[in-house]
Amino acid sequence: MQYKILQPKQEGPVLIVTINRQESLNALNTAFFDELDELFANEASQPDVKAVIITGAGKAFVAGADIAEMVDKNAEEASNFSRRGQKTFLSIGMLSVPVIAAINGFALGGGLELAMACDFRIAATTAKFGQPEVNLGLIPGYAATQRLSRLVGLGSALYMLTSGEMITADEALRIGLVQKLIEPEKLLEEAVRLANAISSRGPQAVKLVKSVTRKGYHLPFPVACELEAQSFGQLFNDEGKEGMKAFLEKRKPVW
């Protein structure tokens, strides 16, 4: 597929995906969702891809959904547009390899929802975050009302969702919305370093730990623990054996 919005670039085991629609601060539209679906089904699913980074071009990660595309929709069309984005963002969690959001600038509305759908988030110290939909008389449509509270707690989520105010990168780190802050000029370098570090770990272990953690988060605790125990045992058939032997023999494992 010839991408017009996304710029995928593979560096070794890491797929870097840059959103480049700078004239609209990388606003999300239907074409974006079509391209991201295509990318997940093809480039990101190749066996030599061990981690994915999503970032933005210019001064925004993503500054929201494309209001020009939404403004003339009726209620049913708007609900379908919401479901469209939700479906694509859910697929990030279902991708077998970790997906890192490298937030280079504004992550607002649908942009923050995209970042929250990723497995974890690192951000430039200058980044800004917010869910400003109430300023337009709307609510989020791509699952911010559900993901945000799960990430930062109910109070912080409702503060952001009801006030519509932006928060700084420092505040985002404090409440657990992002995991690490980096100086802007070093952001992508650090994202690639992290992705390469992940790629050097046991490949089946990384896939399983993502799957078990995401599935278990929504299961009763005893059921989730049993899922972990079964998955733990699976790795003793091959990869885990090699990793433990390599440790005892003081060498690097051969995955």
Query: Which residues are annotated as catalytic?
Result: 113, 133
Amino acid at 197: A
DSSP assignment letter at 29: -
Cα 226–Cα 232–Cα 238 angle in degrees, nearest 5: 150
Helix (H, G, I), strand (E, B) or coil at 56: strand
DSSP assignment letter at 4: S
**Of the candidates 18, 30, 23, 105, which has an alpha carbon nearest to the alpha carbon of residue 65?**
30
d(CA 56, CA 54): 7
> Is residue 21 a contact partner of residue 7, using CB atoms and an 8 Å limit?
no
> Is residue 126 a contact partner of residue 163, using CB atoms and an 8 Å limit?
no
For the beta sheet containing 99-103, the strands, ordered from the edge strand earlier in sequence to the opposite edge, are 6-11, 14-19, 51-56, 99-103, 120-124, 180-182
17: buried, middle or exposed (CB in 10 Å: 19+, 13-18, 0-12)? buried
For the chain, strand residue ranges (E) read 6-11, 14-19, 51-56, 60-62, 99-103, 106-108, 120-124, 128-130, 167-168, 180-182
